[in-house]
Amino acid sequence: MELSGKTILLVEDDQLVGEMLNRRFKIAGAKVIWASDGEDALEKVKTDKMDVIVTDLMMPRLDGFEMLKKIKGNPDTMNVPFMMLTNRSVHEDEVDEMKEAGLDDYVIKSETDLKEVVDRVVAILEKNK
């Protein structure tokens, strides 16, 4: 399955990483709405319908985990699937806490190529049909 017809909210403060992910998602057929941090993302979810949110964990103003809690705590956005990207090691208790808050998947950027990120987003969407 490609991402044709799907809208992804990409939340990434690193310009280069964001451009690479944006390009890869668009090649897979997705419409990408790009936010530079968690606060920007919260504004975008008010006006656009997302099929999935792919966000960095460590960001200025509002990190990915706090954003996850706010989005999952809102009845209008609580069912949107959520993937977290990070370059820092994540302890198992942190992952458990994020999953309890509604996280569908997380990826260590340095250990995962862009194709696998797209494949995992596809898997999340398949699971959440």
pLDDT of residue 35: 96
pTM: 0.93
CA-to-CA distance for 24 and 114, rounded, in angstroms? 7
Torsion angle, alpha carbons of 68, 1, 28, 119, to 10: 50
Grade residue 1 by pLDDT with cuts at 50, 70 and 90: low
**Which fold is adopted by the domain 7-61+68-127?**
Rossmann fold (3.40.50)
pLDDT of residue 94: 86
> Has residue 53 got a pLDDT over 90?
yes
- Mean pLDDT, the chain, whole residue set: 92
Grade residue 21 by pLDDT with cuts at 50, 70 and 90: very high
- Which whole number is the average pLDDT over 53-81? 93
> Has residue 90 got a pLDDT over 80?
no
pLDDT of residue 109: 86
The set of long-range contacts for 107-114, using a CB threshold of 8 Å and a minimum separation of 24, is: 107/83, 109/17, 109/85, 114/20, 114/21, 114/24
Ordered by start, the domain boundaries in the chain are 7-61+68-127
CA-to-CA distance for 122 and 127, rounded, in angstroms? 9
pLDDT in tens, 26-38: 999 999 999 999 9
